[in-house]
Copies of this chain bind each other. A is one copy, B any other.
Amino acid sequence: MKRKVTLKQIAKELDVSISTVSKALRNSKEISEDTRQKVQAFAKLYNYRPNNIALSLKNRKTKTIGIIIPEIVHHFFSKVIRGIELVANKRGYNVIVGLSNESFDKEVINMEMLANGSIDGFILSISKETLQQQDYHHFTETINQGMPIVMFDRVVDAINCDKVIVDDLEGAKKAVSKLISSGCENIGIITTRDYVSVGKLRTQGYLEALEEHKMNPKASLILKVVDQLLSEDHLDLLEKEVESLFKRNKNLDGIFAVNELYALTAMKVARKMHLRIPEDIQIIGFTDGVLSKHAVPSLTTVSQHGQKIGEKAAELLINNLEREDEEDIYETVIIETELIERESTK
């Protein structure tokens, strides 16, 4: 087993000083051609690579980005990570991942763990619990310590930082308008409670679309699902809620669901009630994941372009990190959604 070789060892072997080795390896012209060759040959032989940790300590930057997301087993978030990783790697950064598991405490702990020197900045999406408690002190503290944050998808106005979001409102409007123009007259929405900003915005988009088409919103058409943190055990509860939405609106002919799972559940319930899709009822979801694509019938959705969100977030963060002037001008980038029409709509 040959341990990693250091400058010191090379210096000792070749009987020169450490700094000579260092300079020779960095092709400094201070060093004679002769020794440079000698050093480089030796270094190559022993496969010398500078130690990242030492460099980090010296340069006071780690070239590493910390990602905090609520959940990784999730098509959208993994796409975002892929986007981040893509850009980060291209620009010489690594990516370290922390999961909050939708818990406030885990979010805080994870951030503290990483903030102590391990990373140069954060890209994160806020956990539901944090949104609920509205306690954002860990974000402000991090930013105050000079560590930049880029938030995506689930963001809050209270924090002043770069943000990458989807035009949730517009996306929802697009979806609902599509349903209307395809002939739907009684459109239900399956959404989340309002503390999830994206849910709120999508609900608002739904309402605005109705309004623009002079349709009156009815309370009975709006289902705000009681949140069980989307735990897998609560599919049954969700199904019951959706079923009651269908039952109290016998003439339902369109559904806008704010995520894939809700949309799929709607399909399931529709099937159970012997409604044909899209003949009797049309359905549109939000977030274009594998489920929508492979569902039968395949699901029309509003695609969020998760990967692009990740790429943009990484760009913003790295630009900020590498900016010379310390101006704190924060941007909010809006990624356009796209309506992907499939078989669940006419």
Contact = CB atoms under 8 A, between A and B. Distances in A.
Contact of A94 (B75, B96, B294, B295): B96
Interface in A84-114: 85, 89, 94-99, 110, 112-114
B53 A57 contact: yes
Given A52-B117, A53-B53, A116-B49, A294 B296 contact: no
A296 to B, nearest CB: 5
Given A57-B54, A118-B53, A82 B73 contact: yes
Nearest to A265: B294
Contact of A296 (B89, B96, B141, B296): B296
Contact of A113 (B47, B72, B78, B94): B94
A34 to B, nearest CB: 28
Interface in A293-318: 294-296
A250 interface: no
A75 to B, nearest CB: 7
Given A144-B2, A145-B1, A294-B295, A81 B53 contact: no
Interface string A116-158: 1110000000000000000000000100111000000000000
A235 to B, nearest CB: 9
A197 interface: no
Given A2-B144, A290-B290, A51 B113 contact: no
A166 interface: no
Interface residues of A, number: 51
A146 B1 CA distance: 7
A1 B4 CA distance: 39
A291 interface: yes
Contact of A271 (B57, B74, B271, B296): B296
A100 B141 CA distance: 35
Contacts of A96: 64, 94-97
A22 interface: no
Contacts of A64: 96, 118
Contact of A291 (B3, B53, B94, B290): B290
Contact of A82 (B49, B52, B72, B79): B72
A290 to B, nearest CB: 6
A201 B47 CA distance: 37
Contact of A114 (B51, B94, B117, B290): B94
11 contacts: A3-B145, A4-B117, A49-B112, A49-B116, A50-B116, A52-B116, A53-B62, A54-B57, A75-B290, A85-B99, A94-B96
Interface of A: 1-4, 47, 49-54, 56-57, 62, 64, 72-75, 78-79, 81-82, 85, 89, 94-99, 110, 112-118, 141, 144-146, 264, 268, 271, 290-291, 294-296
